[in-house]
Amino acid sequence: MNIEKLLEELYSYSLHGIKLGLKNIEDICKAMNNPQMNYKTIHVAGTNGKGSTSTTIETVLIESGSKVGKYTSPHILRFNERISVNGIEITDEEIAYYYSYIKNIVKELEITPTFFEVTTAMMFKYFSDKKVDYAVIEVGMGGRFDATNVIKGDICVITNVSLDHTDFLGKTIYDITCEKAGIIKPDSKVFIGSSDADFIKGIEEKSKTYTNVLEKYRLAKYYLDFKNFKTVIDIEGERFIFSLFGDYQYKNFLCAYEVLKELKIPVETIKKAVEKVKWQCRFEVISSQDKVLILDGAHNEDGMKTLCDTLRLGYEKDEIVAVVSILKDKDYTKILKILEPCVKKIIFTSLAENKRGQTGFELYEGSNKVDKEYREDIFEAYELAKEYNSKAILFCGSFYLLSKFKEDVLENEK
């Protein structure tokens, strides 16, 4: 079976939907002799910032000489991005091997797992076989019933909570926090990156000994270098030049920094490594002749707010044209309400080929922005955006949009 057909079969597990509960993954892990217990684990949850925080921790641990597995989702361009060891993605051949291995176990157990359960099981076994020292594991959704939550969770990070996936996780910040705090085990070291009162209340249901990095480092300072697109952070008498750019990346840095200090990583190693962190589609800047191209996966209210907070620090409203598409299961009217005052013009485009996507026209109709247009074809939307006298073109609203743009437009421009 070639890799396209194999992945098609693997993705078909998505048809089983989202099932909250750990029995399937526990049974699969038991059949594998619980490989997830063979390495130290850093479990990262939160509505936004999980990937940036995980990747920062991973990059520094690799710099320190450790062998590090990282598990994240969703992928942007290739499934392989989800599972990596020392920054090297799992190969197509390895995907085929581990998928076949898990598929046989599933058949013997006579269970119907979800896509995420199968993928998570593959990752657990892969990291064990690769003999990683640490696995940095990002929660898929929520925490308590997430398939990743069969690990020890030596260190747990919960970056923040905002209202997302409310159909599954609860309608309030407190309820959602309680779900995310479900990753905390009795012996976990817990680090959090928010001071919201309802968030704190939810955390304290599970742990009284957590560290809130915003409180601990309240005297730290940072600024955004819009010339080089770096986040410059002054903390505890040291300066860090963080390669991930954005107002919100400061908080992600603090979460990662505290984990690395807990692991006794020297400051000089942290300094050296944080200049090298790469994480695509999170205020990813691509310079293109006279315009700056910004790709950001902001796909919920909190993500859009933090994106706009960063944009305002470096650009006037009239200097930005946005190309936008948002999935229909998101509260897109509220997301657009945050973006609309922040940019000169919005060009809506289509993700209708995705079962959760919308056409450009549907989004155009649902927007209150006066200066707006739509082009269903993403290439046409981009060409139109380039015609306007702006300093920056922003693509945002969905990781699917960014994936489509990178594959269909940027790849063809090379």
Specify burial of residue 134 (Cβ count, 10 A radius: 0-12, 13-18, 19+). buried
Shared domain for 117 and 214, answered yes or no, is: yes
How much is the average pLDDT of 79-105?
96
Shared domain for 154 and 71, answered yes or no, is: yes
Shared domain for 219 and 297, answered yes or no, is: no
Shared domain for 115 and 19, answered yes or no, is: yes
Q: φ and ψ at 302, to 5 degrees?
A: -65, -45
Specify burial of residue 93 (Cβ count, 10 A radius: 0-12, 13-18, 19+). exposed
**Nearest CA to 28 among 139, 116, 90, 144?**
116
For residue 391, is it within any domain? yes
Number of domains making up the chain: 2
For residue 54, is it within any domain? yes
**Nearest CA to 366 among 341, 348, 393?**
348
For residue 320, is it within any domain? yes
Per-residue pLDDT at 165 exceeds 60:
no
**Looking at 17-26, 124-133, 243-252, which range is the least confident one?**
17-26
The one-letter amino acid code at 178 reads: C
The residue among 214, 241, 274 that closes a domain is: 274
Tell me the β-bridge partners of 155. 42, 189
Shared domain for 252 and 214, answered yes or no, is: yes
Q: How many Å apart are CA 147 and CA 26, to the nearest integer? A: 9
Per-residue pLDDT at 164 exceeds 80:
no
Shared domain for 63 and 203, answered yes or no, is: yes
For residue 353, is it within any domain? yes
Q: How is residue 117 written in tokens?
A: 């359960």
Shared domain for 81 and 203, answered yes or no, is: yes
Q: How confident is the model at residue 347 (pLDDT cuts 50, 70, 90)?
A: very high
Tell me the β-bridge partners of 261. none
Q: How many Å apart are CA 258 and CA 237, to the nearest integer? A: 15
**What sections of 130-188 are H helices per DSSP?**
166-169, 173-180
Shared domain for 20 and 139, answered yes or no, is: yes
DSSP string, 320-352: EEEEE---TTS-HHHHHHHHGGG-SEEEE---T
Shared domain for 184 and 50, answered yes or no, is: yes
Q: What is the CATH number of the domain that holds 350?
A: 3.90.190.20
Q: How is residue 270 written in tokens?
A: 């942290």
Q: How confident is the model at residue 6 (pLDDT cuts 50, 70, 90)?
A: confident
Shared domain for 40 and 181, answered yes or no, is: yes
**Nearest CA to 145 among 126, 170, 173, 123?**
170
Q: Chain-wide mean pLDDT for the chain?
A: 92
- Per-residue model confidence as pLDDT tens digits over 16-41: 656 667 999 999 999 999 999 999 99
Per-residue pLDDT at 195 exceeds 60:
yes
The parent domain of residue 299 ranges over 284-413
Helix (H, G, I), strand (E, B) or coil at 388: coil
For residue 279, is it within any domain? no
The residue among 244, 274, 304 that closes a domain is: 274
- Per-residue model confidence as pLDDT tens digits over 136-146: 999 998 888 99
Give the number of C-alpha atoms closer than 13 A to the C-alpha of residue 37, restricted to the C-beta side: 7
Measured torsion, CA atoms of residues 147, 149, 152, 154, in degrees rounded to the nearest 10 = 120
Give residue 180's Cα distance to chain centre.
15
Per-residue pLDDT at 116 exceeds 70:
yes
Shared domain for 330 and 195, answered yes or no, is: no
Q: How is residue 396 written in tokens?
A: 């945002």
**Nearest CA to 43 among 166, 144, 174, 176?**
144
- Per-residue model confidence as pLDDT tens digits over 381-405: 999 999 998 999 999 999 999 999 9
Q: φ and ψ at 170, to 5 degrees?
A: 125, 165
Per-residue pLDDT at 215 exceeds 90:
yes
- Per-residue model confidence as pLDDT tens digits over 274-331: 999 999 888 999 875 568 999 998 888 888 998 999 999 999 999 999 999 999 888 8
Per-residue pLDDT at 5 exceeds 90:
no
Q: What is the CATH number of the domain that holds 167?
A: 3.40.1190.10
Q: How is residue 227 written in tokens?
A: 């010339």
Shared domain for 221 and 100, answered yes or no, is: yes
